[in-house]
Chain A
Amino acid sequence: MTDGGPLLDVQDLRVSYTTRAGEVPVVPGLSFQLNAGEALGLVGESGCGKSTVALAIVRYLGRSGRIVGGRIRFEGRDLTTLDEAGLRAIRGRRIAMVYQDPMASLNPVMTVGQQLMEAPRTHEGVSGATARARALAMLAEVKLADPEAVMERCPHQLSGGQQQRIVIAMALITGPALLIMDEPTTGLDVTVEAAVLDLVRELRSRHRSAILFISHNLGSVVRVCDRVAVMYRGELVEEGPVRRIFTNPRHPYTRGLLDCLPTLGSDKRQAPLVPIAGQVESALARSPGCGFAGRCAHVEIGRCTSHPIPIAEVYGEPDHHVACVRADELARWTRRSGATVTHDAGVVGEPMVAVHHLTKIYEPRRRWLRGPRAPVRAVSDVDLAAARGRTLAIVGESGCGKSTIAKVLSGLEVATAGGVTLDGVEVGALAVDARSAALKRKLQMVFQNPDSTLNPSHTVGYAIGRALRRLQGLSPADLAAGVEHLLEVVKLPPAMAARKPGHLSGGEKQRAAIARALAGDPEVIVADEPVSALDVSVQAAIVNLLTEIQAARGATLVFISHDLAVVRYLADTVAVMYLGTVAELGSVERVFAPPYHPYTEALLSAVPVPDPDHAVARILLEGRVPRADEIPRGCPFATRCPRRIGPICDETPPPVQRFGADHRIACHIPGDELRRLQTALVEPRVVGR
């Protein structure tokens, strides 16, 4: 099949996009090799050309993209010159791809079975029965329960994690020599992400397919890959075995990517995140020297900026390459960490925001001539409090009710039962229209989606100015100054005021949205997943900005997230939610130490840790979150709980166990028993169930 050389050999690949502004060299010359059966992680921020490389390999660049030079040798053939027929024979059969959004890869009107059987039937011409048998075997391999039933389903009947498993099954069914995965787990819940990554690792050892794994998150790469290639501005800046990259990164950019990752062991007081300053420079204005020079703390004008930096072997490490002239001069990188300091995070004074016995039920609209549908209990009987000037984080998977709480706090929804007090005033039943101007000013929100948080038709200046006018009553004459001041607070240049969101990056949009939320000088900021749609490097900057603003203004922050590492980093108090109930609540140190609620424990073990030596026994949650009409009578987590102790879990709601003043867990297992089981978990050995 191959002549003993690498499976995929990319030599000096150059890709350009034709845009209105002219020809943009997105990838100006990239070389790397991938051996049969090897897994290479391609890492970098958005806009650094990772996906372009993936698309160039299968020649799917679209109308505006073009390979302008270089060679891509795959199994001895040059893909850059292959004709359409040759490409068709390779795509899907020898090279398969898995993209970020599984729903976009699956045909919504075909059953899973039809889609799985398509590839073997068209590529290998096997009979229907053979294809079916292979599809069933493949479904079992990607660990989907009841393959026969799954075959008959349409994609929308499956959860996001199941969909991604099916896409992976489709990719592997023809036994491709190369599997390209482009951000396959971005957008999935942590627990699902962990399961999918484990699956990929397991399948890899069985199928001997090489994997090109593209991600912006070093944490997920470490679990799957043998080697890592870090890309910046379309060029390779560092490349080497996973262990070397993670223990001794040489390029400042690689170090930056590692430093901006929040980890479970650190918080804002001991080891602040170090965001990478600035952003990827536009491919249009390409400077002659190192692409990272503009953002690099170690830059030396002249040496770094005058001529292209070649990629060279790191002294003494023949398999490790770096493109940095100062690589040998820089001090050895050390993992950012600090000793855990216990600090006082108890409720100080009376709480600024308190949620008591909050229940929110959505009544679905009655359908004509068909019976009523079951009401959806989004939140049931939740008690929470956030002390003035502190951060309350609410974590959980999608659908756990955390966003509903944010909506009730902000008045976009009203409570069905129970209440919410804001600085002593009961607001649970007050929709935002019914709230006084002072109450509106007191609480503002930062939303999740950078693309929808700002109105695309309005300039940033208008959006912030309007908020200033409505909430502060600023006169038109003072608006410009007010807008400029707020932009300065969120570290955006004043020129941004005239721009529309379409011309802003995700991070900039989120900063502008934070500025808008600050317009009323709020005492409470509710941030609903403000960083989950951003790159890790940008995420660090936004998280730091939020903590900074909170500290400077003494505001109370309610931070909603599914990312435990971020929560560990910035929260004072943490509430872990599952299916509308609080599973565990306490100060951040206590929640992140045993005893854990079994759900917290599972979430923690799923967090991707960017450290190859970090071997935590993973607790994989099987099954899916029950639908609203399937919630067990007893503990909501009983259907997936790895520590389920018996029928009591299904039948009786768990008691709330209190450990000290500021820690409580809703579980049938006694706290001491949990602590005993879980202390064992921290030891580096596999825990049996």
Chain B
Amino acid sequence: MSTPVAAGTLSASSPAAPRVLARRWRRRLAALGESTPATVGIVIVLAWVVLAVLAPLIAPYPPNANDLAALAHTTPSKAHWLGTDHLGRDLLSRVLWGARPVLVIAPLAVLGAAALGSLLGLSAGYFGRWIDLTVTRACDIVLSFPVIILYMIILAHVGSSAWNIIGVLTLTKAPIIARIVRGMTLDLREREYVAAAKMRGESAFYIMLVEILPNARGPLVVDMCLRTGYNVIIIGALGFLGIGLPPPDPDWGGMVKDTYGMMMVWPHMALVPCAAISSLVVGFNLLAVGLRELGLRD
């Protein structure tokens, strides 16, 4: 939120703004490199992003192609490095293709939740009184539902699609972000720079978005990173419950659902997508740990 504003004024005063910004980002990345968890996290997450983007090029088979000949030997082989599933579909290709929806839905849902949650949290914390009461109560009510049942009810009504999943995740995660932002706003609104902004007649909207929110970004970014990891788990769970993305396109949770019955005979069929989910979640968590460690020092 702050970047466009700050960049706007910087360009007014100094023509070298883009270079300054680039340098700042390079410095931040270098700082992240000093933290081991952050480095490992970045490597894992970036690896998955690259694999997902390149899936059409590097996947050895089309994701839904059945190799009936391989059904005799579904276990890993030269032709199928990670083996095939019970329908003879190449697991490696499916896992690679399956990364694509996850890596779109999870972050988009987090961005949605962050936008909605920040707005709610800022208003609740800044205005207080009945706005605060309404927002916190509403959040509490959403948070008191067992989320999986909530997902099942909503998705059963509106139907399951990528956009609907993003919508549901946004709605259920926004209250958590709202709470965090509200807590920080309660503290930040007492700062003297907020008083100074009021004294020059700034609007509440400006104070919330330009004076307060940028200073809440540290913990917010850490939390968003964690939430992205949790969203990966939830997307997997939705797939496992059969209310995830519609088949036959590969979806990690759905892959586990289709094959976990054969766990005793062919464990690799379920374990491969499970490992994919875990590694991505661990990646996001490590990144969050690293970010917290650095406290996003500026």
Most buried by A among B2, B5, B10, B201: B201
**Distance between Cα atoms of A471 and B192 in the complex (Å):** 18
Check A497/B199 contact, CB under 8 A, given A457-B214, A462-B6: no
Contact call B13/A456, Cβ cutoff below 8 A: no
Instruction: Determine whether B26 belongs to the interface, using a CB cutoff of 8 Å to chain A.
Output: no
Chain A residues with CB under 8 A of B195: 410, 412, 445, 447
Contact call B13/A461, Cβ cutoff below 8 A: yes
Check A452/B192 contact, CB under 8 A, given A433-B201, A470-B202: yes
Contact call A459/B9, Cβ cutoff below 8 A: yes
Minimum CB–CB distance for A657 against chain B, Å = 37
With beta carbons under 8 angstroms apart, the residue of A440, A476, A502 that contacts B200 is A440
With beta carbons under 8 angstroms apart, the residue of A435, A453, A500 that contacts B196 is A453
Minimum CB–CB distance for B124 against chain A, Å = 16
The contact string, 1 if C-beta is below 8 Å from chain A, for chain B 1-34, is 0100110011011100000100000000000000
Q: Which residue of A lies closest to B17 (CB)?
A: A498
Minimum CB–CB distance for B214 against chain A, Å = 4
Minimum CB–CB distance for B122 against chain A, Å = 15
**Distance between Cα atoms of A445 and B211 in the complex (Å):** 17
Instruction: Determine whether B198 belongs to the interface, using a CB cutoff of 8 Å to chain A.
Output: yes
Instruction: Determine whether A44 belongs to the interface, using a CB cutoff of 8 Å to chain B.
Output: no
Contact call B13/A498, Cβ cutoff below 8 A: yes
**Distance between Cα atoms of A214 and B99 in the complex (Å):** 60
**Distance between Cα atoms of A483 and B9 in the complex (Å):** 11
With beta carbons under 8 angstroms apart, the residue of B5, B13, B199, B214 that contacts A480 is B13
Instruction: Determine whether B215 belongs to the interface, using a CB cutoff of 8 Å to chain A.
Output: yes
Minimum CB–CB distance for A679 against chain B, Å = 43
Minimum CB–CB distance for A494 against chain B, Å = 9
Check A440/B199 contact, CB under 8 A, given A498-B14, A502-B298: yes
Contact call A462/B9, Cβ cutoff below 8 A: yes
Q: Which residue of A lies closest to B31 (CB)?
A: A20
Give the residues from 454 to 486 in chain A that come closer than 8 angstroms, CB to CB, to chain B: 454-459, 461-463, 465-467, 470-471, 476-477, 479-480, 483
Minimum CB–CB distance for B294 against chain A, Å = 12
Contact call A454/B9, Cβ cutoff below 8 A: no
Interface residues on B, range: 20 to 34
Check A447/B196 contact, CB under 8 A, given A432-B201, A455-B215, A456-B298: yes
Chain B residues with CB under 8 A of A432: 198-199, 201
Contact call B215/A465, Cβ cutoff below 8 A: no
Contact call A411/B199, Cβ cutoff below 8 A: yes
Instruction: Determine whether B193 belongs to the interface, using a CB cutoff of 8 Å to chain A.
Output: yes
Interface residues on A, range: 35 or more
Minimum CB–CB distance for A480 against chain B, Å = 4
Give the residues from 411 to 460 in chain A that come closer than 8 angstroms, CB to CB, to chain B: 411-412, 432-433, 435, 437, 440, 444-445, 447-449, 452-459
Check A412/B298 contact, CB under 8 A, given A452-B191, A457-B2: no
Chain B residues with CB under 8 A of A433: 198, 201
Instruction: Determine whether A41 belongs to the interface, using a CB cutoff of 8 Å to chain B.
Output: no
Instruction: Determine whether A351 belongs to the interface, using a CB cutoff of 8 Å to chain B.
Output: no
Contact call A470/B201, Cβ cutoff below 8 A: yes
Chain A residues with CB under 8 A of B12: 465, 476-477, 479-480
Minimum CB–CB distance for B115 against chain A, Å = 18
Chain B residues with CB under 8 A of A435: 201
Contact call A466/B13, Cβ cutoff below 8 A: no
With beta carbons under 8 angstroms apart, the residue of B10, B14, B193, B214 that contacts A454 is B193
Give the residues from 167 to 219 in chain B that come closer than 8 angstroms, CB to CB, to chain A: 191-193, 195-196, 198-202, 211, 214-215, 217
**Distance between Cα atoms of A352 and B26 in the complex (Å):** 52
**Distance between Cα atoms of A449 and B196 in the complex (Å):** 12
Contact call A456/B200, Cβ cutoff below 8 A: no
Chain A residues with CB under 8 A of B196: 445, 447, 453, 467, 513, 516-517
Chain B residues with CB under 8 A of A437: 201
Minimum CB–CB distance for A508 against chain B, Å = 16
Minimum CB–CB distance for A216 against chain B, Å = 23
Minimum CB–CB distance for B75 against chain A, Å = 50
Q: Which residue of B lies closest to A516 (CB)?
A: B196
Contact call A500/B193, Cβ cutoff below 8 A: no
**Distance between Cα atoms of A471 and B5 in the complex (Å):** 18
Chain B residues with CB under 8 A of A445: 195-196, 199
Chain B residues with CB under 8 A of A448: 192
Chain B residues with CB under 8 A of A519: 200
Q: Which residue of A lies closest to B198 (CB)?
A: A432
Minimum CB–CB distance for B251 against chain A, Å = 40
Give the residues from 208 to 238 in chain A that come closer than 8 angstroms, CB to CB, to chain B: none
Minimum CB–CB distance for B112 against chain A, Å = 23
The contact string, 1 if C-beta is below 8 Å from chain A, for chain B 96-133, is 00000000000000000000000000000000000000
Contact call A479/B13, Cβ cutoff below 8 A: yes
Chain A residues with CB under 8 A of B198: 411-412, 432-433
**Distance between Cα atoms of A497 and B6 in the complex (Å):** 12
Contacts A470-B202, A483-B13 given; 18 further ones with Cβ under 8 A? A410-B199, A411-B199, A412-B195, A433-B198, A435-B201, A449-B192, A452-B193, A453-B193, A455-B215, A457-B217, A459-B10, A461-B10, A461-B13, A462-B6, A476-B12, A477-B12, A479-B9, A519-B200
4 closest Cβ contacts across the A-B interface?
A457-B214, A447-B192, A470-B200, A455-B193
Q: List 8 A-B contacts (CB under 8 A).
A: A411-B198, A433-B198, A449-B192, A453-B192, A455-B211, A457-B217, A480-B13, A516-B196
Q: Chain A: residues with CB nearer than 8 A to chain B?
A: 410-412, 432-433, 435, 437, 440, 444-445, 447-449, 452-459, 461-463, 465-467, 470-471, 476-477, 479-480, 483, 497-498, 500, 502, 513, 516-517, 519-520
